[in-house]
A and B are shown apart, each in its own frame.
Chain A
Amino acid sequence: MAEVALHHVGKKYGDVQAVEDFTLTIQHGEFMVFVGPSGCGKTTTLRMIAGLEEITSGEILIDGRKVNHLPPKDRDIAMVFQNYALYPHMTVFDNMAFGLKLKKMPRDEIEQRVRQTAGMLGILDFLKRKPRELSGGQRQRVALGRAIVRTPKVYLFDEPLSNLDAKLRVQMRLELKKLHEKMNTTSIYVTHDQIEAMTMGDRIVVMKDGRIQQVGHPLEIYMHPRNRFVAGFIGSPTMNFIEGARIEKENGALFSVTKGMKLPIPKTHFEALAPYAGREIVLGVRPEDLSEGDDPNAPGAVKAYVEVVQPVGNQIYIDVKVGDRNLLAAISPQSAVKVKEEILLKARLENLHFFDPESEKALV
């Protein structure tokens, strides 16, 4: 168990600022997920925590102790690499026992711990094999086992599931989460997959261009993204952004208006949005906040023209035209929606998102 704290950590490769002003505290036993598009500095941050990369500025503390210049071996951290990094010339057993042997642990204790961990991961039968004789999923487990068997203070995972096929990925996601519940060790997990982040993280850090965009619980980030980037990155399918929507004031009420759509704004947002009356903003609507409606006069009703219908089983994604814009809506699978027909949609008004067109910050 350990607390990992980063204060204004930065990393420069020559002229490239890979990570900038990264400040975050990861609590004892927390499962923290770093998520962001490729190249946003997730791996670099992880490697700085591991001590594999010198930091250019700021400081890193583990359990309150500054570790900026501490070599990796003295940090008591285990890392699972994206390519697994198993030693090809050693058996699974030797791969897992590697760190324990270096710690000069007695042989029978090594044997017992490796067997116990292998049993937990379901790889007991493969202990005598070499990595090349294993499937991708099995290698993944060995890589996990090698980290777990050491019982370090902190686990670091760098996209550990990205080389697995979709089905196995979902299964391993669940197993990792269970393992974490059981061991409760501070873990930092890097992924570019927002679903992985949402499902696994106690908290999520959304990153872009080396900077933290938002930190929070998965649902909190989903419900209240702090800027347009986070709103677009978290959630699947992606949020619809309607640029050039105007905030209009009528009889003391606020509306967000675009061609073919006039949505009343909930009273709770009046204070924040009043200064924007008469100005253009970016309106964000999640596909799942657009459902099929029945009353054309109800608040939030939108007339749309269906262009594409994509059933995915538990939902139907429809691509619709409203005015001159295309929006995606996720509606109930019971709907009898047809292509090239009109449909009446209803927006969940309390879930609308508003962004400043210049700063892209969320307005409410």
Chain B
Amino acid sequence: MKQKAWTKFLRFYLPLGLFLLFLLFPFYWMFATTFKSDAELYNLKLNPFLIHHWSLVNLKHLFYQTPFLRWLWNTFFVAITSTLISLSTSLLAAYGIQRIRFKGSSMMGIGIFFCYLVPPTILFIPLATMVFKLHLWDSLWALSLIYPTFLIPFCTWLLMGYFNSIPKELEECAMMDGASRMWIFWRVIIPLSLPGILSAGIFAFTLSWNEYLYALTFISTSLKKTVSVGLVTELVRGDIYHWGPLMAGALFGSVPVALVYSFFVEYYVAGITGALKE
């Protein structure tokens, strides 16, 4: 018995613990730095892993001297709108490709996948031209419309896999009962795909929340920046890093995502594994 507990500890809890430590340490570092004064931060004699004197000075800096709350709202706005646009488009696209056997549907699926493979570093120059022509330069809508270029392929593929796990007899039965395609889509497919839709949504939300390159390229006004860009452009002045506020911003920027994840974690797992249990 004792032996067993030991082997379980060695083979399961120990690796898991080390892994957690590795993953969570950056968060702890952000947290610790946030609540230290500069004096403590740069004092090499103190143990850097502990907080000796709690200080709110970095938070004051972040919230009063930068438009951080505005950045949070911008990020939220962009993440939500681009997620909604991507989800609604992907739902229809994935359903169409997977279930309505039109000519070239499988080619279309592959085509969408290839779109996903084109890196943003190549795309941002042509996209910049388009953004200018649409008079969306320096507008949050530019991001809301551009993020779907990588979110839609991603969500479409995830949802295609999910729809594939729904037996097509369910739809056929509904069809024989007199339901229309749209009706079936709303009343049968959507409710059954909720875990898939949620996980696609979470992915889309996180990807747009963390996006950096497009946000850096298309937004220049401070008040319109997103968190990821705002922090780096306004709290790194030349070669001076305002570590305290930077880390505070990073901490408060990652909290919403962590909340979203923990809230939907069950659906998220079900969505990834594509398991539709009867």
Contact A132 B278, beta carbon cutoff 8 Å: yes
Chain A CB within 8 A of B103 CB: no
CB distance from A11 to the nearest CB of B (A): 15
Given contacts A87-B188, A89-B192, A132-B277, contact A99 B177 (CB under 8 A): yes
Report yes or no: A72 in contact with B176, Cβ–Cβ below 8 A: yes
On chain B, the residues within 8 Å of A176 by CB distance are none
Number of A-B contacts (CB under 8 A): 58
Q: How many Å lie between the Cα of A78 and that of B191 in the bound state?
A: 23
A73 CB within 8 Å of chain B? yes
Q: Is B173 part of the binding interface, using a Cβ–Cβ cutoff of 8 Å?
A: yes
Indicate with 1 or 0, residue by residue over B109-137, a CB within 8 angstroms of chain A CB atoms: 00000000000000000000000000000
Known contacts: A89-B191, A132-B277. The answer to whether A81 contacts B173 by CB under 8 A is yes
* Given known A131-B278, A132-B277, contact A85–B175 (CB-CB < 8 A): no
B276, CB-defined interface residue at 8 Å: yes
Q: Is the CB of B188 within 8 A of A83?
A: no
**Chain B count of residues within 8 A CB distance of the other chain:** 18
Minimal beta-carbon separation of B169 from chain A (angstroms): 4
Contact among B169, B176, B188, B276 with A73 in the assembled complex (CB-CB below 8 Å): B176
Most A CB within 10 A of own CB, among B174, B177, B183, B192: B177
Distance of A98 Cα from B175 Cα, bound (Å):
11
Is B167 at the interface (CB under 8 A from chain A)?
yes
* CB–CB A50/B174 < 8 A: no
Q: Which of B154-169 contact A (CB under 8 A)?
A: 167, 169
Whether A73 and B175, one on each chain, are in contact in the complex, defined by CB atoms closer than 8 angstroms, is: yes
Q: B182-194 interface mask toward A, CB cutoff 8 Å, 1 = contact, 0 = none?
A: 0100001001100
Residues of A with C-beta under 8 A to B266: none
Output the nearest chain A residue to B174 by Cβ-Cβ distance: A98
Task: State the Cβ distance, B63 to closest chain A Cβ, in Å.
Answer: 45
Partner among A77, A86, A88, A89 whose Cβ is within 8 Å of the Cβ of B176: A77
Instruction: Please tell me if the beta carbons of B179 and A85 are within 8 angstroms of each other in the complex.
Output: no
Q: A87-B188, A88-B192, A89-B191 are in contact. Are A98 and B169 (CB under 8 A)?
A: no
Contact residues in A for B179 (Cβ distance below 8 Å): 73, 98, 102
Tell me, yes or no, whether A120 is within 8 Å of chain B by CB.
no
Q: Which of chain B's residues have a CB closer than 8 A to the CB of A52?
A: 172, 175-176
- Name the interface residues of B219-278: CB closer than 8 Å to any CB of A: 276-278
Can you list, as one digit per residue, whether each of A74-118 has a CB less than 8 Å from chain B (1) or not (0)? Answer: 010111010101111100000000110011000000000000000
Q: What's the least CB distance linking B184 to chain A, in Å? A: 10
- Considering the complex, give the chain B residue whose CB is closest to the CB of A80: B173
Q: How far is the CA of A150 from the CA of B178 in the complex (A)?
A: 11
CA of A51 to CA of B172, assembled, Å:
10
CB of B16 within 8 Å of the partner chain: no
Residues of B within 8 A of A77 (CB): 176
Residues of A within 8 A of B178 (CB): 73, 99, 102-103
Asked if A83 contacts B169 (CB within 8 A), the reply is yes
Within the complex, the shortest CB–CB distance from B177 to chain A, in Å, comes to 4
Residue B56 interfacial (CB < 8 Å): no
Bound CA–CA A52/B175 (angstroms) = 9
A72 to B176, CA, bound (A): 5
The answer to whether A85 touches B192, judged by C-beta atoms less than 8 angstroms apart, is no
Q: Give the complex CA separation of A85 and B176 in angstroms.
A: 12
B residues less than 8 Å from A99 (CB atoms): 177-178
Which residues on the A side are within 8 Å of B175 (C-beta)?
52, 71-73
Does B108 touch A at the CB level, under 8 Å? no
Complex Cα spacing A75 to B172, Å: 13
- Are A102 and B177 within 8 A (Cβ)? yes
In contact, B169 and A78 (Cβ under 8 angstroms):
no
Please tell me if the beta carbons of B170 and A73 are within 8 angstroms of each other in the complex.
Answer: no
Q: Which residues from A are CB-within-8-Å of B278?
A: 86, 88, 131-132
* A85 in contact with B167 given A52-B175, A72-B175, A79-B173 (CB within 8 Å): yes
Interface pairs A-B: 3 shortest CB-CB: A99-B177, A85-B169, A73-B178
CB<8 Å pairs between A and B, sample of 11: A50-B172, A51-B176, A72-B176, A73-B176, A73-B178, A75-B176, A78-B176, A87-B170, A87-B174, A87-B188, A88-B278
Other A-B contacts than A50-B176, A88-B192, 9 sampled, CB-CB below 8 A, are: A73-B176, A73-B179, A79-B172, A81-B172, A85-B172, A85-B173, A86-B278, A98-B179, A132-B277
